[in-house]
Amino acid sequence: MAERIALEFSRPVSLETLRAGQLEQVVEASPGERAALARRFHIPAVTRLYCRFRLTSGPADSFEASGFLDARLVQTCVATLDDFEASVAEAFSVRFVPAGMESDDPDPGTEDEIPYAGGAIDFGEAAAEQLALAPDLYPHKPGAAPIELSEPEPEKPFDRLSALKRRS
């Protein structure tokens, strides 16, 4: 029997509720859930997490969802190592599909699919996944000087021979 992982931010909604026409879901994380998500994502803090989903029924028990993520988090600047607060506000679209029915399409341009099982869709975990995808991978504190990366000069083919000639 597979071990069930406890999720930090879980808001399951039964498929019967969704089929009955409740096709808008709003989830907001509590302070404890935000702290647990910050630990999961290895960031100093999540100070706000609000997510809205609007669903339409699709074929074979799938649901198309458009959503909006509104979050505030504390990140660490890669240039100064100072913590700073950043906002995330973005629209997204995903498709909820029964587990095992995910597409094999490797195209990164296709709509993200989130599998569900057990007769419910977990909108909390879906919001957490959107939050994980949203922040800048190399966060910079506003006003921090950019990191200058210089590449070494390429060695010219006869530089070593010139150096040997100078020694003799």
pLDDT at 149: 67
More confident residue, 96 or 19: 96
Number of C-alpha atoms within 13 angstroms, CB side, residue 139? 19
Question: For position 168, what pLDDT does the model report?
Answer: 62
The owner of tokens 């799938």 is 62
Confidence at 2, pLDDT banded by 50, 70, 90: very low
Give the distance, in angstroms, between the CA of residue 53 and the centroid of all CA atoms in the same chain. Answer: 16
Task: Express each pLDDT in 117-165 by its tens digit.
Answer: 988 999 999 999 999 998 888 898 888 887 776 677 777 777 776 766 6
Domain spans of the chain, in order of start:
12-146
Strands (E), the chain: 12-14, 24-28, 45-57, 63-76, 83-98, 112-116, 120-122
Considering only CA atoms, which of 11, 23, 6, 33 is closest in space to residue 57?
A: 23
Model confidence, pTM: 0.78
Q: What is the CA radius of gyration of the chain?
A: 23
What pLDDT is recorded for position 48? 97
DSSP-derived 3-state class of residue 127: helix
Report which secondary-structure segment, H or E, holds 32: helix 31-41
Report residue 39 as tokens.
């630990």
Q: What are the backbone angles phi and psi of residue 96, rounded to the nearest 5°? A: -90, 125
pLDDT tens readout for residues 30-87? 999 999 999 999 999 999 999 999 998 888 888 999 999 999 999 999 889 999 999 9
Give me the pLDDT at residue 61, please: 86
Measure the CA–CA gap between 37 and 45, rounded to whole angstroms: 8
Q: Write phi, then psi, for 164 (nearest 5 degrees).
A: -65, -40
